[in-house]
Amino acid sequence: MKKIHPAGFNPVSAPDFLPLERLQNLQLQRLQDMVQRAYDHVPLFRQRMQERDLQPADVRTLADVTKLPFTVKTDLRDTYPFGLFASPMRDIVRLHASTGTTGKPIVVAYTKEDIGVWANVMMRSFAACGLHSGDVIQNAYGYGLFTGGLGAHYGGEALGATVIPISGGNTQRQLMVMKDFGSTAICCTPSYFLHIIEQAPELGVNLKELPLRVGVFGAEPWTETMRRRIEAESGLKAYDIYGLSEIIGPGVAMECECQAGPHIFEDWFFPEIIDLKTGKPVADGEEGELVLTTLGKQAMPMIRYRTRDITALTTERCECGRTLRRIQRIGRRSDDMFIIRGVNVYPSQIETALLKVEGTLPHYQIILTRDKGLDEVEVQVEVTREVFGDTVGVLEQLQRRLCQSVETLTGLRVNLRMVQPQTIQRSEGKAKRVIDQRKM
């Protein structure tokens, strides 16, 4: 007899719905294997375990994960290039690396099995936002050393969708392909998609008339306000995907059609939330730093990797029925935080404050300067052409409202400059929101 599934059910998503007990048994078994593997093959991890008088056998329950030492980004730099690998080079089929604007990049490795896991979680990511075979995925993440391009590519193919490996940049060609090839989904950074939205009318393309219906956006923090702007202007549904190269690349977590925060693919990645300062676990639902342990990475196991991303974990069951826990969308990276006159500020707070006000465009930049030892913040935001056409009084009023909105959300008085559309430099990858000129 043919099984009848609810509309939209995709069999590739089955692991997302594992009963909790089975999921936890699987997690424990994989965690134990992973700790043993890292202990046997990664000298740095073994040394830290020995310093704590720990043996792999001391991991008896999932809760025991908190006994294990953390891994941090500098560990990857300090052991550059291959010091954290747990597989010999003959078993490694792929290397990726961060572009490394300063100093050495970080290098990550994959065995054939690891590539399989990555394709699996990316495939489930696409399925979670309602894509299936027959969909045409325009993959505008960069191909190359960056993990975005190939990660999404293999996942899309595993799903049976048609993948267009267009990579980032060349907006005119992106729009031509989108129109002529009938793309139904696009993958890129949210800021690059904003750029596509802006260019479309100039090139005679009406995004709302195209078959495009899904956007898979990630690789940089973005806000809920930004999501609403993107959806209203393009007519697609915008989903938040989360990942990082140190763990696997994109596909660590992905939103389902409820758009209620990314579900972590917990059968492969074990999440914890810790207090930034003390490193101790926080209570369920409380904000802290996301720490991830890979449960199946052969070439480069990551035990308790501190992501620097700030979020909260929710155990509340999602309406989609997935058993996988969700994280709050990540709008903040502790690395992005800047301190100005003693106030901690995240670019995403400023983004929310600006986009709340009507008349603004979703393009902004924050410039930090120091004058006679005093820190100054200038926020530049583009406003619509109509605003510029208005009277001085209207302009001044808008400026006051923007300053007030920023002050209410951040506690910070800023110099606010409204600029013409297209003034702020566009990005084809990750947007540069903060320009800190204080060190110069």
Nearer to Zn ion, 164 or 256 (CB): 256
Q: At what angle do helices 224-234 and 347-355 cross, to 10 degrees?
A: 50
CA–CA gap between residue 327 and residue 253 (Å, rounded) = 8
Stretches 24-32, 106-114, 269-277, 322-330: which one binds Zn ion (CB under 5 A)? 322-330
**For the CA atoms of the chain, what is the radius of gyration?**
23
Residues 6 or more apart from 9 whose CB is under 8 A from it? none
Please name the residue that has the structure tokens 């394709």. 119
Measured from the CB of residue 263, what is the shortest distance to Zn ion in angstroms?
Answer: 6
Stretches 38-46, 101-109, 248-256, 387-395: which one binds Zn ion (CB under 5 A)? 248-256
Per rule CB under 5 A, count of chain residues that contact Zn ion: 5
> For residues 222 and 331, is the Cβ–Cβ distance under 8 A?
yes
Asked if 258 is part of the footprint of Zn ion (rule: CB under 5 A), the reply reads yes
Q: Name the nearest CA neighbour of 131 among 23, 212, 40.
A: 212
Measured from the CB of residue 128, what is the shortest distance to Zn ion in angstroms?
Answer: 7
Stretches 136-144, 220-228, 252-260, 265-273: which one binds Zn ion (CB under 5 A)? 252-260
Among 318, 340, 350, 406, binds Zn ion (CB under 5 A): 318
Measured from the CB of residue 322, what is the shortest distance to Zn ion in angstroms?
Answer: 5
According to DSSP, residue 236 is labeled S
Nearer to Zn ion, 252 or 320 (CB): 320
Q: At what angle do helices 347-355 and 392-410 cross, to 10 degrees?
A: 140
Measured from the CB of residue 256, what is the shortest distance to Zn ion in angstroms?
Answer: 3
Nearer to Zn ion, 62 or 260 (CB): 260
Measured from the CB of residue 389, what is the shortest distance to Zn ion in angstroms?
Answer: 44
CA–CA gap between residue 346 and residue 350 (Å, rounded) = 7
Q: How many Å separate Cα 167 from the centre of its chain?
A: 18
Measured from the CB of residue 258, what is the shortest distance to Zn ion in angstroms?
Answer: 5
Token pair of 204 as six digits = 């005679």
Stretches 75-83, 102-110, 310-318, 344-352: which one binds Zn ion (CB under 5 A)? 310-318
Nearer to Zn ion, 129 or 318 (CB): 318
Nearer to Zn ion, 122 or 320 (CB): 320
Q: Is the dihedral of CA 169, 81, 117, 261 positive or negative?
A: negative
Asked if 42 is part of the footprint of Zn ion (rule: CB under 5 A), the reply reads no
Burial zone of 338 (CB within 10 Å; 0-12 exposed, 13-18 middle, 19+ buried): middle
Nearer to Zn ion, 157 or 231 (CB): 231
Helices (H), 52-140: 73-78, 112-128
Q: Is the dihedral of CA 397, 402, 403, 407 positive or negative?
A: positive
CA–CA gap between residue 334 and residue 307 (Å, rounded) = 9
Asked if 361 is part of the footprint of Zn ion (rule: CB under 5 A), the reply reads no
Asked if 324 is part of the footprint of Zn ion (rule: CB under 5 A), the reply reads no
Stretches 3-11, 146-154, 317-325, 398-406: which one binds Zn ion (CB under 5 A)? 317-325
Q: Which amino acid is at 251?
A: G
Residues 6 or more apart from 64 whose CB is under 8 A from it? 58
Measured from the CB of residue 384, what is the shortest distance to Zn ion in angstroms?
Answer: 35
* HEC profile of 208-223: HHCCCCEEEECCCCCC
Nearer to Zn ion, 320 or 414 (CB): 320
Nearer to Zn ion, 48 or 322 (CB): 322
Stretches 32-40, 82-90, 97-105, 315-323: which one binds Zn ion (CB under 5 A)? 315-323
Nearer to Zn ion, 260 or 434 (CB): 260
Nearer to Zn ion, 121 or 194 (CB): 121
CA–CA gap between residue 365 and residue 356 (Å, rounded) = 16
Measured from the CB of residue 56, what is the shortest distance to Zn ion in angstroms?
Answer: 34
Instruction: Give the start-end residues of each E strand in 295-353.
Output: 305-311, 313-314, 326-327, 332-333, 338-340, 343-345
Asked if 256 is part of the footprint of Zn ion (rule: CB under 5 A), the reply reads yes
Measured from the CB of residue 314, what is the shortest distance to Zn ion in angstroms?
Answer: 11
Residues 6 or more apart from 209 whose CB is under 8 A from it? none
Nearer to Zn ion, 212 or 318 (CB): 318
Per the DSSP assignment, residues forming a β-bridge with 111 are: 92
Stretches 66-74, 194-202, 256-264, 366-374: which one binds Zn ion (CB under 5 A)? 256-264
Among 122, 248, 320, 398, binds Zn ion (CB under 5 A): 320
Measured from the CB of residue 318, what is the shortest distance to Zn ion in angstroms?
Answer: 3
By CB under 5 A, name the binding residues for Zn ion.
256, 258, 318, 320, 322
